[in-house]
């Protein structure tokens, strides 16, 4: 029977070899055979909102380097509280979605705290749908908070480049 233990830093080469073997053994790993160590260039991007020479909002779209997930982007959005309810969040989301489509991405996803009703309305208005709930996934000011996992499919699988 195999023993289970914490990995140690000296195993970096053995782990790389194991991951390459796993990629070749099964189609259920994220990386395809031969991809490890040869990741595609970073396809992530960012838009910012500026007002009066000051950055007031940002949206990051992070894409994974693997072919199987390269068309999927994880969104992180933030707007200064002093600039809420001025269309900045919507503008950033619209720009990020348009850029994702331009790049041929097939999916965008994000998460938000379940009690953030303003964000939920914004995301729904832009086409995101709640796909799941992460129960007690964050601890905010000593309270456990649920997160909604939301996604938007940009194009059908038969149209993916």
DSSP string across 64-98: -SSTTTTTEEEEEEEE-GGGTTSSHHHHHHHHHHH
Cβ atoms of 113 and 100 closer than 8 Å: no
Tell me the pLDDT of the chain averaged across its residues. Answer: 89
Rounded to two decimals, the pTM is 0.82
Class of the domain covering 41-159: alpha beta
Query: At residue 36, does pLDDT exceed 80?
Result: no
Closest C-alpha to 19, from 32, 1, 8, 4: 32
- Among the residue ranges 51-60, 62-71, 129-138, the one predicted with the least confidence is 62-71
Instruction: Give the start-to-end residue ranges of the domains of the chain.
Output: 41-159
């Amino acid at each position: 029977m195999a023993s289970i233990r914490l990995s140690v830093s000296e195993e970096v080469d053995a782990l790389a070899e194991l991951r390459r073997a796993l990629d070749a053994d099964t189609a259920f790993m994220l990386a395809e055979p031969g991809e490890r160590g040869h990741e595609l260039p970073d396809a992530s991007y960012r838009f910012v909102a500026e007002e009066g020479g000051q950055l007031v909002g940002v949206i990051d779209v992070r894409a994974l380097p693997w072919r199987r997930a390269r068309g999927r982007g994880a969104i992180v959005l933030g707007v200064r509280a002093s600039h809420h309810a001025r269309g900045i969040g919507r503008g950033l989301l619209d720009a990020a979605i348009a850029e994702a489509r331009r790049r041929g991405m097939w999916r965008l996803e994000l998460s938000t705290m379940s009690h953030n009703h303003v964000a939920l309305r914004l995301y729904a208005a832009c086409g995101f749908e709640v796909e799941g709930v992460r129960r007690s996934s964050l601890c905010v000011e000593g309270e456990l908070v649920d997160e909604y996992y939301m996604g938007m499919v940009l194009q059908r699988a038969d149209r993916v480049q």
